[in-house]
């Protein structure tokens, strides 16, 4: 009976035109738009090498006790800090090879951006954000900077980045597939028929979860193939990429199903799922790339979208990623937790309705 | 003595301390077409929901096919065909897919499932429309499909909750004819409706329900005798119903 339920629920999803349009057309459209809009910005990374940052340090600056450690961490990231004790800052910039200049004042710093070195100033800003965060918990000269790995990846093209990011983002929108089945069930009394049949709670749960996952694979899979062909997206490390995408499908499906079971209203379910996905995408680099994002690293790592996007982006440009493990653990954890919560909620709802 | 298919004792359902069904005693024998008649809010649908294990009873017991319904749900449910008041079909599935889905929920599979789908659609006269989407059906066709979805697993007890609401006379006659045929083929039928003439036409025994209680039950003749001493007087079921649910009920409520 589970087989027939899965088959027919999948048909309900496949016959919903707007779901097909959203799952297939949505990613392609957004990849095309964002890939084009951010093309120049992403290209500014190409050929980026080590650079020099000039700085001035006021005697009373809060940064003074930590300057040696700051310079060491910067050196590890390919940024050489050179001190200029006196002189007009604009003159220093004009006369020297500084890609960026930082004025460390008493309790703040100012980054002077040089027009042709916009990317370097972003990197300096990102780096100093990390320094400031580390300083908050440090005591005097005991500071040990943990900003030794900047989120810089070599030569990613905007189509590749947004191709990857929006494949992941739209997989997290898999909850929309469930609406075709849930709307149809609630329209009539199909739920009552299920209650008086021999089908178990687990089968009823799987009867929605499996077709939703399949529909997401069909929808986003088709859009991925098309966008890969149209925009020449480079994926890299296919087995790991496919594994992470499939885990994302499963995690997003059980999360969406949990919200549908948690709220009796489909509107609340969709709004909550969309909000959670949007926030995770915002933090995780779906809109602004995680490379440029000034969101604190400790916040970024909370987003499963960040882990998956970063792992797949790094596969694309360098074939491997240190985020593979955290991505797999995070997605598997979400999948197990939301599946258990969903099955529990399914049982609870059935008892409440009786 | 014929076998009892449904027996309830003291069956009660309360919502917020208000009894929707109140100490209901009901007995339906094998081979009967039992009509449950009552105004809106009388408790008919709640009673049916409790019989089908959709709703839990607050108190009392239900025996179906001689066993406790609460304890032996999995034994009883495959023998019940429930046709709900609202249409329990998916508009975006074809007629045969709807029947296949709901029949499969009772463990029917493979060739038996295919045969059950064909027979159910033929039974309700939808063979020619089997590949059409249910959403494109007329009201009458949807009602017939609703029935086909409930009979594929060949139940012994058919429970109809107002199956003819909002359909044309032709479809209504067709459905009533089929209910009679099912009964003649051996199925016991519990039928609820607002339409007196339907109950009068097909039911062998009738219970009139109001305010959660059975206020009268028996054959039409027995019900007639409750309100008139004249055996020759032609009294319609509607007159009986209005007399019992009107004056008698007020008398009862005033006690």
A1·B74 Cβ contact <8 A: no
Q: Which backbone phi and psi does B165 adopt, to 5 degrees? A: -65, 130
Where in chain A are the domains?
Answer: 2-41+155-353, 51-142
**A41 pLDDT above the threshold of 70:** no
What are the pLDDT digits (tens) for B23-68? Answer: 999 999 999 999 998 888 888 889 999 998 888 899 999 999 989 9
Q: Which residues of B44-78 are buried (b: 16+ CB within 10 A; e: fewer)?
A: bbbbbbbbbbbbebbebebbbbeeebeeebeebbb
Burial class (CB in 10 A: 0-12, 13-18, 19+), B85: middle
Across B219-242, average pLDDT: 74
pLDDT of residue B188: 93
Mean of per-residue pLDDT scores for chain A: 84
pLDDT, residue A354, reads 58
Q: In this complex, do B101 and A8 lie within 8 Å of one another by their Cβ atoms? A: yes
Residues of A in contact with B100 (CB under 8 A): 4, 8
User: Would you tell me how many other CB atoms lie within 10 Å of the CB of residue B216?
Assistant: 20
Could you say which residues from 13 to 42 on chain A have a Cβ atom under 8 Å away from some Cβ of chain B? 15-16
Q: Is the CB of B106 less than 8 angstroms away from the CB of A15?
A: no
A104-163: per-residue pLDDT in tens?
Answer: 888 888 888 877 777 777 778 777 877 777 776 665 555 555 554 555 555 677 888 888
Mean pLDDT of A265-283: 90
Q: Is A276 exposed, middle or buried (0-12, 13-18, 19+ CB in 10 A)?
A: middle
**Which band of pLDDT confidence, cut at 50, 70 and 90, is reported for residue B250?**
very low
| Closest to B164 measured CA to CA, from B182, B181, B147, B180 | B147
Q: At B173, which CATH number?
A: 3.40.50.300
What pLDDT, on a 0 to 100 scale, did the predictor assign at position A45?
57
The rounded distance, in Å, linking the Cα atoms of A22 and A216 is 11
CB atoms within 10 A of CB B82: 27
pLDDT of residue B111: 93
The percent of residues in chain B predicted with pLDDT above 90, rounded, is: 41
Please state, in angstroms and rounded to a whole number, the distance separating the CA atoms of residues A284 and A298.
Answer: 11
pLDDT score recorded for residue B98:
95
Q: Apex CA A101: angle with CA A96 and CA A102, to 5°?
A: 145
Cα–Cα distance, A270 to A157 (Å, whole number): 33
Residues of B in contact with A4 (CB under 8 A): 100-101, 104, 109, 113
| B247: pLDDT strictly greater than 60 | no
Strands (E) across chain A are located at 51-57, 79-83, 100-104, 109-113
| Mutate: best of B50, B87, B104, B163, partner A, most A CBs <10 A | B104
DSSP track, B120-151? HHHHTT-GGGTTSBGGGS-HHHHHHHHHHHHH
Which residues on chain A are in Cβ contact (under 8 Å) with B102?
193, 197
On chain A, the residues whose CB falls within 8 A of the CB of B92 are: 11-12, 15-16, 180, 184
A308 with A324: CB under 8 angstroms?
Answer: no
pTM above 0.80, yes or no: no
Residue in chain B closest to A190 (alpha carbons) equals B88
Q: Across the interface, which of B49, B92, B105 has its CB nearest the CB of A15? A: B92
What the block records as the tokens of B18 is 């208000």
CA distance B210 to chain A (A): 22
Contact B138, B117 (CB under 8 A): no
More confident residue, A107 or A48: A107
Domain that holds residue B211: 4-253
Positions of E strands within chain B: 4-15, 18-29, 33-37, 59-64, 67-68, 80-83, 157-161, 188-193, 205-210, 213-218
Q: Which of A146, A199, A150, A162 is nearest to B153 (CA)?
A: A199
Would you say residue B254 has pLDDT above 50? no
Percent of chain A with pLDDT over 90: 32
Centre a 10 Å sphere on the Cβ of residue A289 and count the other Cβ atoms it contains. 22
pLDDT of residue B252: 39
Q: Give the whole-angstrom CA distance, residue B64 versus residue B116.
A: 24
Contacts B150 to A, Cβ<8 Å: 193
Query: With b meaning 16 or more CB within 10 Å and e meaning fewer, what string describes A55-92?
Result: bbbeeebebeebbebbbebbeebebebeebeeeebeeb
Check residue A155 and give its pLDDT: 63
Choice among A67-81, B90-104, B188-202 with the minimum mean pLDDT? A67-81
Once rounded to an integer, what is the mean pLDDT over residues A270-292? 87
Quick one: how far is CA A326 from the chain centroid?
13
Per-residue pLDDT at A347: 81
Q: B92 and A16: CB-CB below 8 Å?
A: yes
Encoded tokens for A120? 């370097």
Nearest residue of chain B to residue A5 (CA atoms): B101
Find chain B residues with C-beta within 8 A of A203's C-beta: none
Picking from A88-92, A132-136, B177-181, B190-194, which range would have the lowest pLDDT averaged per residue? A132-136
Model confidence at A44, pLDDT cuts 50, 70, 90, reads low
Report which of A348, A7, A27, A343 is spatially closest to residue A176, judged by C-alpha positions. A27
**A214 has a pLDDT exceeding 70:** yes
Q: Is A180 on the interface with B (CB under 8 A)?
A: yes
Report d(CA B74, CA A281) in Å as an integer: 46
- Name the one residue in this structure whose structure tokens are 């943990």: A146
**Residue B249: pLDDT above 60?**
no
DSSP type of residue B79? G
Q: What is the pLDDT of residue A140?
A: 53
From A177, A255, A223, select the one nearest A12 (Cα to Cα): A177
Helix (DSSP H) and strand (DSSP E) numbers for chain B: 10, 10
Q: What is the pLDDT of residue B251?
A: 40
Comparing CA positions, the residue from A339, A328, A336, A317 lying closest to residue A243 is A328
Mention the CATH class of domain A51-142: alpha beta
The answer to whether A256 and A211 have CB atoms below 8 angstroms apart is no
Q: Evaluate if residue B1 carries a pLDDT over 90.
A: no
A249 has pLDDT over 90: yes
Task: Answer yes or no: is pLDDT of B100 > 90.
Answer: yes
Rounded (10°) angle between helices A266-284 and A175-187 = 180
Q: How close is the nearest chain B Cα to the Cα of A200, in Å?
A: 10
**Residue B104 forms contact with A (CB below 8 Å):** yes
Report which secondary-structure segment, H or E, holds A247: helix A238-262
DSSP B246: I
Cβ atoms of residues A83 and A63 within 8 Å: no
Q: For residues B36 and B215, what is the distance between their CA atoms, to the nearest angstrom?
A: 11
φ/ψ (deg, to 5) at A334:
-60, -40
Number of separate domains in chain B: 1
The token pair at B147 is 């029935």
């Amino acid at each position: 009976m589970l087989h027939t339920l899965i088959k027919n629920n999948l048909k309900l999803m496949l016959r919903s035109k707007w779901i097909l349009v959203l799952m297939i057309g949505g990613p392609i459209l957004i990849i095309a738009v964002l890939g084009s809009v951010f093309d120049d910005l992403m290209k500014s990374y190409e050929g980026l090498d080590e650079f020099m940052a000039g700085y001035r340090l006021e005697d009373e600056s809060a940064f003074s006790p930590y300057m040696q450690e700051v310079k060491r961490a910067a050196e590890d990231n390919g940024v050489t800090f050179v001190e200029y004790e006196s002189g007009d800052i604009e003159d220093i910039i004009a006369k020297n090879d500084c890609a960026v200049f930082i004025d460390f004042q008493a309790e703040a710093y100012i980054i002077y951006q040089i027009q042709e070195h916009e990317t370097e100033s972003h990197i300096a800003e990102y780096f100093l954000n990390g320094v400031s965060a580390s300083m908050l918990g440090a005591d005097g000269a005991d500071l040990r900077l943990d900003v030794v790995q900047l989120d810089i990846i070599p030569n990613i093209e905007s189509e590749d980045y947004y191709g990857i990011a929006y494949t992941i983002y739209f997989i997290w929108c898999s909850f929309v597939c469930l609406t075709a089945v849930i709307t149809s069930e609630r329209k009539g009394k199909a739920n009552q028929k299920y209650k008086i049949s021999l089908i178990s709670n687990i089968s009823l749960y799987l009867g929605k979860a499996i077709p939703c996952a399949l529909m997401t694979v069909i929808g986003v899979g088709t859009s991925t193939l098309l966008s890969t062909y149209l925009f020449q997206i480079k994926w890299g490390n296919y087995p790991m990429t496919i594994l992470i995408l499939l885990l994302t499908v499963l995690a997003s499906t059980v999360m969406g199903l949990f919200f549908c079971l948690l709220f009796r209203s489909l509107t609340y379910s969709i709004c909550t799922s969309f909000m959670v996905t949007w926030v995770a995408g915002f933090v995780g680099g779906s809109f602004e790339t995680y490379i440029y994002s000034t969101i604190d690293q400790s916040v970024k790592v909370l987003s499963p979208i960040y882990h998956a996007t970063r792992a797949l982006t790094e596969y694309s440009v360098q074939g491997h990623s240190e985020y593979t493990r955290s991505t797999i653990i995070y997605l598997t954890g979400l999948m197990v937790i939301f599946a258990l919560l969903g099955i529990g909620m399914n049982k609870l709802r059935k008892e409440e309705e009786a | 003595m014929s076998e009892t298919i449904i027996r309830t004792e003291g069956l009660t359902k309360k919502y917020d301390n208000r009894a929707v069904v109140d100490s209901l005693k009901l007995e339906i024998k094998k081979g009967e077409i039992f009509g449950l008649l009552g105004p809106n809010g009388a408790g008919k649908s709640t009673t049916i929901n409790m019989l089908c294990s959709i709703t839990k009873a607050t108190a009392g017991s239900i025996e179906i096919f001689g066993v406790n319904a609460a304890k032996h749900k999995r034994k009883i449910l495959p023998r019940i065909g429930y046709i709900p008041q609202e249409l329990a079909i998916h508009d975006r599935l074809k007629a045969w897919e709807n029947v296949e889905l709901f029949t499969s929920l009772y463990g029917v599979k493979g060739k038996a499932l295919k045969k059950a789908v064909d027979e159910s659609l033929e039974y309700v006269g939808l063979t020619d429309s089997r590949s059409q989407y249910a959403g494109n059906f007329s009201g009458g066709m949807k009602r017939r499909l609703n029935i086909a979805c409930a009979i594929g697993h060949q139940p012994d007890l058919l429970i109809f909750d107002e199956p003819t609401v909002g359909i044309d006379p032709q479809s209504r006659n067709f459905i009533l004819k089929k209910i009679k045929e099912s009964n003649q083929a051996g199925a016991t039928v519990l039928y609820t409706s607002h339409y007196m003439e339907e109950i009068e036409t097909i039911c062998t025994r009738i219970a009139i329900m109001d305010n959660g209680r059975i206020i009268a039950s028996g054959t039409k003749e027995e019900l007639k005798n409750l309100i008139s001493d004249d055996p020759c007087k032609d009294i319609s079921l509607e007159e009986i119903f209005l007399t019992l649910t009107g004056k008698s009920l007020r008398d009862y409520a005033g006690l």
